[in-house]
Amino acid sequence: MIGALKARAAELRSAATVLVFEPSSKEFIDPEGAPPRLTRWREKFLALAAQGVDRLVTLRFDDDVREMTPERFVDDLIVDALGTRHIVVGNDFRYGCNAGGTIDSLRAAGGAHGFGVEQIAPFVFDGVRVSSTAIRERLGESDFVGAGRLLGRPYRMLGRVIHGRQLGRKLGFPTANLRLMRRKPPVQGVMAVRVFGIERNAMAAVASLGTRPTVDGTDVLLEVHVFDFAGELYGREIEVEFVAKLRDEVKFDSLDALTEQMKIDAAQARDLLSKVKSD
């Protein structure tokens, strides 16, 4: 889709523009039932910029947007606000209130308003239709290799390191804590990871993504212990690449029991990452 968008923008000498909604319609309508979010807004922005998109338009999804008829969606947004000359959509694109707008009605509107409509066929890779659902399924199964094949890149999360309770430091495992900036993550548990944004090369680490039940935590947090690193990371933006899941998050009876398991986790992660790196 991005390739087609850029090609048409070049032909028309227009800005290649992507429209996104924040939050997603599913998150707004059913926050608890919405699927896990693969990317936060900043991750989308950086990914699209890297692909050569000229402009990212973000529309806050609210009751007004939810109640837009397909006709108003086209008139107010596609035509008046964006001045669209050509639109590229996926094969399952629907728009407007109750998803009442179809590709046929969009093409009819394009004919009336003078913009072209291009629908992209499903992309099949390894016999699988590439979609956010398929990627979420693989991440939910901790199949990071499979998810990466569908994504075309390893799955990563980006975040800024914040101050925590410094419990990990007291236990001998200082961690960089990242808020996820998403309601639900597509992965969870204790994992072997690589960290980008600290030094020139990726750094091996072990991470825990969850609520920290042993210390009665409630907020979902990504905690990363970077091996052989003693510097300060507060305020730094780092990227965490998930390589393999070691275990689920569990509640331990004591901090001593948690510390012993953390030693095991760290050793397993070091061993696994050293083997993966050498392959």
64 and 45 belong to one structural domain: yes
**Domain membership of residue 134 as a residue range:** 123-153
What are 208-236's pLDDT values in tens digits? 999 888 887 778 899 999 999 988 899 99
129 and 165 belong to one structural domain: no
Q: How many domains does the chain have?
A: 3
Question: What one-character-per-residue DSSP string does 95-106 give?
Answer: BSGGG-B-HHHH
CA distance 156 to 103: 33
Q: Cα-flanking dihedrals φ and ψ of residue 133, to 5°?
A: -65, -45
The pLDDT of residue 171 is 75
What residue type is 194 in one-letter code? R
69 and 135 belong to one structural domain: no
CB crowding 150-172: b at 16 or more within 10 Å, else e? bbeebbbbbbbbeebeebbeebe
166 and 205 belong to one structural domain: yes
Residues across the chain = 279
161 and 256 belong to one structural domain: yes
Radius of gyration of the chain (CA): 22
CA distance 140 to 162: 26
132 and 190 belong to one structural domain: no
Q: Cα-flanking dihedrals φ and ψ of residue 8, to 5°?
A: -70, -35
Average pLDDT, the chain: 93
Confidence bin at 279 (pLDDT 50/70/90): very low
What CATH number is given to the structural domain containing 259? Answer: 2.40.30.30
Of 105, 123, 85, 98, whose CA–CA distance to 3 is shortest?
123
How many Cβ atoms are within 10 Å of 273's Cβ, its own excluded? 21
Q: 239 pLDDT exceeds 50?
A: yes
171 and 263 belong to one structural domain: yes
89 and 136 belong to one structural domain: no
84 and 137 belong to one structural domain: no
CA distance 49 to 55: 8
58 and 98 belong to one structural domain: yes
161 and 265 belong to one structural domain: yes
What are 57-76's pLDDT values in tens digits? 999 999 999 999 999 999 99
The pLDDT of residue 278 is 46
204 and 235 belong to one structural domain: yes
Q: Which is more confidently placed, 220 or 54?
A: 54
Q: 245, 140 in Cβ contact below 8 A?
A: no
Q: 173, 164 in Cβ contact below 8 A?
A: no
